[in-house]
Amino acid sequence: MKNSNPTADEIYLFNQGNLFKSYEMLGAHIVEENGQNGVRFSVWAPNANEVRVIGDFNGWQGKLNSMKKIDKSGIWTSFIPNVKGGDNYKYEIVTNCGEVLHKADPYAFWAEVRPKSASCVFNINEYKWNDKKWNKGKKKEQDIYNKPQLIYEVNLLSWKRKEDGSLYNYRELADILVKYVVEMGYTHIELMPVCEHPFDGSWGYQITGYYAVTSRYGSPSDFMYFVDCCHQKGLGVILDWVPAHFCKDAHGLAQFDGTPLYESEEIKGWGTMKFDYGRPEVKSFLISNAVFWFDVFHIDGIRVDAVASMLYLDYAKEHGEWSPNQYGGNGDLNAIALIKQLNEVVFSYFPQALMIAEESTEWPLVTGPTYAGGLGFNFKWNMGWMNDSLSYMEKDPLFRSGVHNLLTFSFMYAFSENFILPLSHDEVVHGKRSLIEKMPGDYWQKFANLRNFFGYMISHPGKKLLFMGGEFAQFIEWRYYETLEWKLLDFEMHRKFKEYVKDLNRFYRKEKAFWELDQGWEGFQWIDCHNNQQSIIVFLRWSKSAQEFVVVLCNFTPQYYEDYRIGVPQEGTYKEIFNSDLEQYGGSGKRNEKKIVSEEVECHEQPFSLVITVPPLAYIVLKKVKEIGNHFKRKNNSRKKTRRGGY
């Protein structure tokens, strides 16, 4: 990383909104100048009358270290000798009204542990990485879309704590958390925001230090060690990133130089400030920040939070509280331009990056390329699937037949974007209940329903995300202030459920049909989507090999069937390769123990059919293991009308 006085070229690009590594110019950099070791401080505060550096090194007396303004750039800079790593500091800003503000450095690499709020000098270049093998493998990866992707979403504050209630640090988490996630079969870990934030109850989404990894769990080098360990274990790292808004805390970005510098307005109902996306220096700040986490911390992806609040001028506003854009629409043209440029820049530096949008509306082409009018992300959370499927699963099985469309509608648009199916933290808080508690029925049925639902999710087109605690069926809602209920694993059903999720994850990763053609209709085919009376769906997932496909059946009622006929496209001998109703998972043990030979009996508009056992509230998968004859037929039109299943 470059450490020097800001250059004219850097300043020009910064003021134009096109300096994409502005963290190399601004902030506090340990350097040697004129034979002296010290720190070069640089900060953007264009409307300040005076800026000073205060800190441990000068007794917090700002008049000892005034900064010099660089022409009309708005940037103030100063070299202070003998300042070293670990020293705390702030900027003392004298506004044009004479008010004196004490502000944390927007580009600081580290900060004091809350509730303290000073920035800390840190040498961001000191860590020695050991993830060359991981990075080399990523560069060889040509297709990130048709690969398995299982994401485990984590809040570091509450995943697990020590017996005395204290927090594990990054290096300790690199051992226990990374080991756990790998053993459970996940491909990626997604961390809720780890940028510095003052209030635990914001879950990290109200940030004061965008370039500072939170000191709650250690230093930047400690977090680098965590990411390094993830990579060495074959685990990708995704960070939640929040360019939509920031908090109003006095030491943060709000009214930074006595004027609304970073912000454009307050977001109604949130009590936070919306970034000014039309301001060039704010663009440099935000785009550089995304690049920073990839560049400096080697992360593999970011999930951009609350994209809808950025896109719409009328977001959370009533009639008369907003004005349309120049074309008469409600799109925020500055935010749209920023998002497109953000994705273009990140992919120019890191072609294999995951750029994930949490976008909750029907905005078109979120994952479309920018040259075609899209926003340029490569993945989007499928909020429609999440809302519909959870609404369906909450229904008593007696009434599911009347809302069958909630189960099947998502397949109509499954390939309109590159989707991730999220069961995130937002679905298990604020009275929404935990996933297991959402399920209807008695104790046994709750677990059976959730096993079935997870099987449906794993087989549905799209990548997968599950929030921590869901993998062992935690009953209470997530609470950010306390650890997950790991003691539940003392109970048999929770232990069995955890083993089920582990086996399901491994099964998904093993079977290419679930992800090898995950982005188009050629990888999916309905067998029966119309059987609302029995609340059963049957479909195929295809791999690139025409001979390798799986037959998926989900039974969403407690009814058990011994002779249920389903259509299949190929003649052969089939075998049950997965069943959520096995006793080892807490099920009733109903299964297809023997191999099943197809019959030349048409069913569901397929030339052959199987007669199978269908367990109650269960997910089963069948696979052809042996050819019979030379018959072969494959259909790709999943929207074609099919007949109801056999009785």
Per-domain residue ranges of the chain: 8-120, 521-627
Kindly report the three-state secondary structure assignment for every residue of 532-553: CCCCEEEEEEECCCCCCEEEEE
Evaluate whether 8-120 and 521-627 have a shared fold.
yes
* Whether pLDDT at 633 is above 80: no
pLDDT value at residue 148? 97
Q: Are 453 and 460 in contact (CB under 8 A)?
A: no
d(CA 428, CA 146): 29
pLDDT value at residue 419? 98
pLDDT value at residue 3? 52
d(CA 179, CA 13): 43
Q: How many CB atoms lie within 10 A of CB 377?
A: 28
String of DSSP letters for 321-356: S----TTSSSB-HHHHHHHHHHHHHHHHH-TT-EEE
Here the tokens at position 133 are 């093998």
CATH number for the segment(s) 521-627: 2.60.40.1180
pLDDT value at residue 628? 74
Q: Which amino acid is at 163?
A: E
Report the pLDDT averaged over residues 529-551: 96
The phi and psi torsions of 113 (rounded to 5 degrees) equal -70, 135
* 358 a catalytic residue: yes
* Whether pLDDT at 629 is above 70: no
d(CA 148, CA 462): 9
Q: Are 280 and 214 in contact (CB under 8 A)?
A: no
- Name which of 93, 110, 114, 113 is nearest 27 in CA terms: 110
pLDDT value at residue 2? 52
Q: Which amino acid is at 292?
A: F
Kind of pairing between the strands at 354-357 and 301-304? parallel
d(CA 562, CA 333): 59
- Name which of 607, 461, 597 is nearest 523 in CA terms: 461
Map residue 450 onto helix, strand or coil.
helix
* Whether pLDDT at 600 is above 80: yes
pLDDT value at residue 627? 80
**Torsion over CA of 270, 431, 237 and 164, rounded to 10 degrees?**
100
Report the pLDDT averaged over residues 364-376: 97
| Domain 8-120, architecture per CATH | Sandwich (2.60)
Band (pLDDT 50/70/90 cuts) for residue 59 is: very high
**Lowest mean pLDDT, pick from 143-147, 366-370, 442-446, 526-530:** 143-147
* 511 a catalytic residue: no
Band (pLDDT 50/70/90 cuts) for residue 5 is: confident
* Whether pLDDT at 146 is above 70: yes
Kind of pairing between the strands at 150-154 and 188-191? parallel
User: For the chain, how far is it from start to end, CA to CA, in angstroms?
Assistant: 68
- Cα atoms found within 13 Å of the Cα of residue 497, Cβ hemisphere only: 28
Which distant-in-sequence residues (6+ apart) come within 8 Å of 485 by Cβ? 469, 474, 475, 476
Query: Catalytic one among 358, 417, 511, 571?
Result: 358
The phi and psi torsions of 90 (rounded to 5 degrees) equal -145, 170
* Cα dihedral 438, 440, 446, 449 sign: negative
Cα–chain-centroid distance for residue 21?
A: 24
* Whether pLDDT at 631 is above 60: no
String of DSSP letters for 430-447: TTS--HHHHS-SSHHHHH
Report the pLDDT averaged over residues 620-645: 58
Q: Are 148 and 508 in contact (CB under 8 A)?
A: yes
% of the chain residues with pLDDT over 70: 96
- Name which of 264, 203, 84 is nearest 480 in CA terms: 203
Q: Are 603 and 609 in contact (CB under 8 A)?
A: yes
d(CA 425, CA 438): 14
Q: Is the peptide bond before 115 cis (omega within 30 degrees of 0)?
A: yes
Report the pLDDT averaged over residues 426-450: 97
Band (pLDDT 50/70/90 cuts) for residue 634 is: very low
Query: Catalytic one among 24, 263, 300, 305?
Result: 305
Query: Residue 82 burial (CB < 10 Å; 0-12/13-18/19+)?
Result: exposed
d(CA 135, CA 227): 12
Which distant-in-sequence residues (6+ apart) come within 8 Å of 498 by Cβ? 184, 471, 472, 473, 489
Here the tokens at position 88 are 């705390």
* Whether pLDDT at 644 is above 60: no
